[in-house]
């Protein structure tokens, strides 16, 4: 199994590996840590991202996909939200394990709540999507850029560098830090990134032997929702620096979908929503919503 080497990547990939071993008696999964371009160089500017084959997100998976294609690893474990809209040729997703909470978490200093967050408060996050949605809900807050792993971010909060931060609920839980005081934010306030909270287990498409092992961890409801979200990411040309949000939920009448897109330089993005009653019409449904999201 190939994985990035961050604490979160190792925690979530280990969970997937142990689950696969349980589902496949006698199987042993060896972890191979691979440093990606994103780990080495960080997030590129929008101008640079536009010229990358898979956009900015591709920098977090490029070396892992190369390891798949040349046989150094049999499968790769990714955070779903790090996956570019287009996979490398010859690669496919064999499994989306059951999704963790997809929402974003408001993590404040003691005594502060989202409701009491006022003008001038310092709020830190690494995501432009979150920046725009925070400003839409709480005009006048002072936004700060947040870097570092979860423990580093929590230390900065404790040291008073800012009043609150916004990170993924799934990250806290997978690191065993679910006890950290936080408020999961309603998706009406903060629409998640596409596939947030989901893991993607990627294989080389011609490795049917590996597919037979890894696919046992696939969770059909998670796959259905994540594929809607990733289809929207692809349809709005996501991954090239533009903030994108997407969240799909299964309902008795079909799939309820909400999307968000902010074009380059916009301070306020656009939300779209709809109910797809026939999953077989996903591509047409998403294409229509993407066109609405891009229209100005």
Catalytic residue ranges: 82
Alpha-carbon distance 245 to 273, whole Å?
11
In 96-243 the beta strands, taken as DSSP E runs, fall at 104-108, 122-125, 142-145, 164-168, 183-184, 199-204
Tell me phi and psi for residue 45, to 5 degrees: -70, 155
The SS3 of residue 251 is strand
How many degrees, rounded to 5, is the angle at CA 264 between CA 260 and CA 268?
50
DSSP string, 72-125: S-SEEEEEGGGS-SSPPTTEEEEE-PPP---SEEEEESTT--STT--TT-EEEE
């Amino acid at each position: 199994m190939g994985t990035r080497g961050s604490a979160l990547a190792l925690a979530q990939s280990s969970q997937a590996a142990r689950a696969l071993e349980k589902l496949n008696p006698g199987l042993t999964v060896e972890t191979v840590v691979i440093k990606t371009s994103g780990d080495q160089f960080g997030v590129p500017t929008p101008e640079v991202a536009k010229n990358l084959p898979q956009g900015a997100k591709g920098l977090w998976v490029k070396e892992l996909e190369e390891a798949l294609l040349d046989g150094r690893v049999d499968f790769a474990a990714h955070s779903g939200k790090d996956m570019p809209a287009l996979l490398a040729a010859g690669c496919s997703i064999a499994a989306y394990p059951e999704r963790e909470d997809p929402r974003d978490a408001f993590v404040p200093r003691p005594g502060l709540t989202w409701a009491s967050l006022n003008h001038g408060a310092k709020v830190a996050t690494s995501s432009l999507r979150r920046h725009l949605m925070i400003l839409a809900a709480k005009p006048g807050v002072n936004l700060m850029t947040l870097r570092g792993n979860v423990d580093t971010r929590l230390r900065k909060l404790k040291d008073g560098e800012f009043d609150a931060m916004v990170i993924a609920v799934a990250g806290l839980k997978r690191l065993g830090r679910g006890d950290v005081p936080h408020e999961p934010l309603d998706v009406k306030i903060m629409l998640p990134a596409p596939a947030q909270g989901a893991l993607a287990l990627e294989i080389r498409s011609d490795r049917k032997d590996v597919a037979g092992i890894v696919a046992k961890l696939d969770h059909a409801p998670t796959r259905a929702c994540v594929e809607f979200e990733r289809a929207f990411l692809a349809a709005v040309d996501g991954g090239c620096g533009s903030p994108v949000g997407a969240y799909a939920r299964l309902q008795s009448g079909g799939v309820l979908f909400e999307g968000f897109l902010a074009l380059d330089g916009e301070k306020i993005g656009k939300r779209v929503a709809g109910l797809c009653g026939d999953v077989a019409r996903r591509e047409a449904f998403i294409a229509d919503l993407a066109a609405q999201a891009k229209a100005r």
